[in-house]
Amino acid sequence: MAKAKLPADVNKRAKSIVDIATGESENVKPADGKNPAAVELGRLGGLKGGKARAEKLSAKKRTEIAKKAASKRWSDKKPN
């Protein structure tokens, strides 16, 4: 079953949830044609990707990446 696309408005969202729960509306996205087994395998790879990458990096390289990220995060320059 595909996940329902709910409106952003709180009242409309509540109505949609009630309609779906009571069976009055089948407001669900159609199947996207993807193989569920392939999607699950991709998800599993994504879940372990960051941890596996961190284990492969040397401590020096991880430190460089962290310093670069921190400097970007805390810089005063804001995008236009």
Top-confidence residue, 29 or 69: 69
User: Do residues 7 and 13 touch, judged by C-beta distance below 8 A?
Assistant: yes
The DSSP letter of residue 31 is P
Q: How many CB atoms lie within 10 A of CB 30?
A: 6
User: Do residues 32 and 20 touch, judged by C-beta distance below 8 A?
Assistant: no
pLDDT digits (tens, 9 = 90+) for 24-60: 776 555 557 788 888 888 888 888 888 888 889 999 9
Query: Residue 23: what pLDDT?
Result: 79
